[in-house]
Structure 1
Amino acid sequence: MIHSLMISKPIQLLLLCTFALFSDVVFADPPYNICSTSISYAKDSSFENNLTNLLSSLSSNASISKFYNTSNGIGPDRVYGLYMCLDYITNESCKTCITTATEDIVKLCPLATEAVVWEEFCLLRYSNSNFIGSLNVTGNIGLDNKQNLSEPEKFESAVNQTISNLTKVASFGVSANMYATGEVPFEDETIYALVQCTRDLIASDCSRCLQSAIGDIPGCCYASIGGRVLSRSCYLRYEFYAFYHGATGPTNSTTGKKESKNNSSKLWMITGIIVVVGLVIVFVIFGLYLVGIKRKRQSKNGIDNHQISLGSLRVATNNFSDLNKLGQGGFGPVYKGKLRDGQEVAIKRLSTCSEQGSEEFINEVLLIMQLQHKNLVKLLGFCVDGEEKLLVYEFLPNGSLDVVLFDPKQRERLDWTKRLDIINGIARGILYLHEDSRLKIIHRDLKASNVLLDYDMNPKISDFGMARIFAGSEGEANTATIVGTYGYMAPEYAMEGLYSIKSDVFGFGVLLLEIITGKRNAGFYHSNKTPSLLSYAWHLWNEGKGLELIDPMSVDSCPGDEFLRYMHIGLLCVQEDAYDRPTMSSVVLMLKNESATLGQPERPPFSLGRFNANEPDCQDCSLNFLTLSDIVPQ
């Protein structure tokens, strides 16, 4: 017997593939696809270029998150896309699957302006129309296991009941990933079932998608011992074996018409397996040696590809001219620059009083460059030269949210719809940091000036100077050095130095209330009883007078009931007790689902924070870019 503890993971995977060669083929081979035929795009067109960039972006994010959606381009040539990997596979397998899907989708759907491809463990989809957050159950594909049951009616009823129960868990239960699995006994067997929705859907649409897929089961899989339904927005599967735990087929012959194997064929199989396994082990050992060499080269290339010389940055900023200065952050000035290829960038020149070494700085930067989300500012490169440490970001022309939001003239650009887009974008960005990235990251300095706006006024969270990375099991941490911004800090952090994901939820709640009212929390004063925007908002909401806080600039485009619902969600986020605040996954669901039941918010703290990140001294300059407390990939 070969023990798995004595074999490396790559060898285990190859052994699994070897055994799979001898098992029955029960499904047609992927990929499966749907391609639009009504409209085609032209070769070498802007649409094709945008599609290529979008597919590259999706593939690059797959090693970080198992779900991601984005868009590329502007106007009629804009392309929207998303991918979803099945939640039980690893990030590495997700990356492999999406890479394959990006190659297959252009081969299977050449010049199509809309396409969907399903691989074995993932879904990839793009379109020239914005489908993000919209349900589409047309064109579902049903696949049946080729082994049949002799009495299918009872089995079909059990399957429907099992998947219906899982649908409730994935749609309205505790699953933040809209994913659920379940195991139920059936006669002498066990039914293993899985459901999953794309995370851009609201809970009710996830339920509708899976209910539609359940309705497709009789047409594709009647009398079959297993089946799958592939939808544009959801996925379901059931089998007589634990496929989501790594099993590759049924373990006995009680499922129907499996033919028995004679002793000679079994002996031939065992002999063949031993020979193949021996050869595989030899090749794998040699392959691992080559992989080790390749990884070393890739690591060196990864640094070289993103490191920019100090001389190039001096040229880009006209030697860091004051005319190019965009502002002064807590950790150094920020300059606008133009690289040699014409790309406009924002360059942060970090304080020189850091005690952090160059190697540690480079490792942290390369780590954060893996964080890719449409609502996070993209880090493009860095520079380390002596005491100089610089970060190069994408340039966002509309500046920071506070400049637009708190200026009476600029605020006219933010109608109610745009404000909701900004709120939802910020929420998705924070959720990505907390739950969907490889790392569990607490930003710790969420505020309007740390949200930048792109060409289309879409929000991007910036400035990770005070962010902390949590290990997977950590829920709360403590610091003796409290840094932050007055008006945005959670009370437990300001008073005791305690921070967690709920600290970011508090900062988001302040931001939400500022965005819908157009009023700044810091410096707000109404009376001794309501000395902050938060307390004043809670006071008005509690008395049924919340509409008095509507920003006059958006009153014509703002439905009163919608304003009150967003105000309600904001107040839930800024409750004094961190335990009472919702998680960001719950916040995102509340924002998307208008029918969601909202609890009664408790009174917010009346005074917030006592410290400012923009102090002139250097007491916390060692937090150059990202302070790490245990780097544990999620």
Structure 2
Amino acid sequence: MQRRRPPGTGRAQHLSPPPCAAAVVLLLLAAAAVSAADDAADAGAGAGAPVILDTVCAATQTPDPEAFDVSFVNTLEIIYQNVTRSGYGAAATGSGNNTVFGLGQCLAYLSPTDCQLCYAQSRVKLPHCLPSDGGRIFLDGCFLRYGAANFTAAATDADDTALCSNATAAPGFAAAAAELLLNVTAAAPGARDYYFAASAASQPPAYAAAQCWLSLNASACAACVESARDRVVSQCLPRADEGYGLNAGCVVRYSTRPFYLPANATGGGSSSRRIVIIVVASVLSAAAVIGIAFVWTKMRSRSRDDLHDDMDGSGEIIRAISASHLSFKYEQLREATDEFNQINKLGQGGYGSVYKGVLADGREVAVKRLFFNTRQWAEQFFNEVRLVSQVQHKNLVKLVGCSVEGPESLLVYEYLCNTSLDHYLFDAFKKNALDWERRFEIVLGTAEGLSYLHNASEVRIIHRDIKASNILLDERFRPKIADFGLARNFMEDQSHLSTGLAGTFGYMAPEYIVHGQLTEKADIYSYGVLVLEIITGRKNYNSVASSAEGLSLMALIWKHYNEGTLMELLDPNLQDQCSEEEALQVFHVGLLCAQASPNLRPPMWKVVEMLSSRDKAALPRPTQPPFIDVKGSNAKSDSSGSASLMSNSDKPPFSLNQLSVSAVQAR
């Protein structure tokens, strides 16, 4: 295998502070301080991205990258569902040369939330190994690996390594740490979940932990931790004050910091660790205040001509908005929402909360409240203003204006009284309001809105987060696409964008998850999933748990499609409201849009044509969608060549929420 040292794990800064409105610059500087404090807290506070310790990619490549990629995504999806449940998952999907084995595990000292975040980070980074036929990544708190051969019982291999810090250990620390490592590695094979951690009262104190993957047996675990311990002792001690032994089947670590969660902890770390984080954050905040004062002084002395030097164009947007009818005063919107009263809260998104407001002239509006906790969130605000102000279509939410002068930035949209599609579609009582006519209008109207974004607007736009909660409904239940915070635009001569992973798992196209290459085909895949949800009344992301067969929604629909029994999946609320021909047409279009191969998905203008046409026989036969090998823990193995090696844990899931991910990285 080839060891690839990834670039720095700090947050990429895509956004330069716009040297225009003073409040915006101050907010961005303050955000930078918060971001730096998050990085200082590291993964222990659960705020920053987990640190990547080591990445290893196989030297050999798969002979059929496209088929291998599909199996790769299916395998990682199974692992994700099990890591969410119990912190561990292993799986294998595909057949022959396209079989992909995978294993993921969080270390026992991570909280459930930090475990999910760590796995999400590893899932974003590991595809960089493709088209290699194997790869593994160690993060500070979790491990993820894939390969063409079954490696799950391997305790050690040629790629095992030690990672040592650059800081020198105090005299006497090495002996205490070595003895402590001997104790924890002796105890780990017989401990619960193969995990054991302890400390020694040396000066400075020593802390150590050892853990094996749950795929090993006790004897293999003992061999693994012994090998990792010997390597880290010989290579890191006595000089380094922290070290990791990273083996194929385990991790051994020592440190001068209490990196693991004490047995009686409930908040995610020791008091001394929290004190360090608070002190670092306080120092950085103080430095930020000095920096703010300095920049403010400099800004006052700059001429207006200098203000046109902003790199990303956001300053020009702010100035244009301030001088136009789109500009609202912060106090005006605060009063309109009754000081952002919780009674007026319409919903919570990934980048802020939305409140209903009534302006002084009686107009009802929806106010999106964005807090600049990081530079990335600031970028989302400017991106949404830039894009939404350039598009106008009956199936797109209209931007009324925004506010950039107060302590936070606000977006003002037209108010839609029926909120979002998910509030009706997945509610047993409210879904009665969505008869066949309204659902078909939502399917067609959303397609028309996406077709406009992809082909007819002045700028070519990919939304990146099409899902039921981002489809708003007016008083007649007509659909309008909302939330352009993750949207991207690109030039006509660009075939794709290479970008960090962002969106909602369950709606993200496989080629986007694997390669990060963004085209309008990613939106088309998300739309296909949405269509299938609309006609079945079932959520895609939790369909495994709710299905008696233990199948994902994609697998269930594909199974019934091949058996000619799709009508059995039609939402019972739609029975006798439409003809079989009409229902099958919508099923067919959804399957065409959700095909695994992006090249086979029809463009949105063609989707609109398919839905509007009466010639149902002209529709091509869809090919297999991705994720059909994702099964629930009670599902039986079939003869398709797919196998599931999942955890037996009967623990309840950590969370049933959809996990939205937005990772910023340079390519």
TM-score by length of 1: 0.48
TM-score by length of 2: 0.45
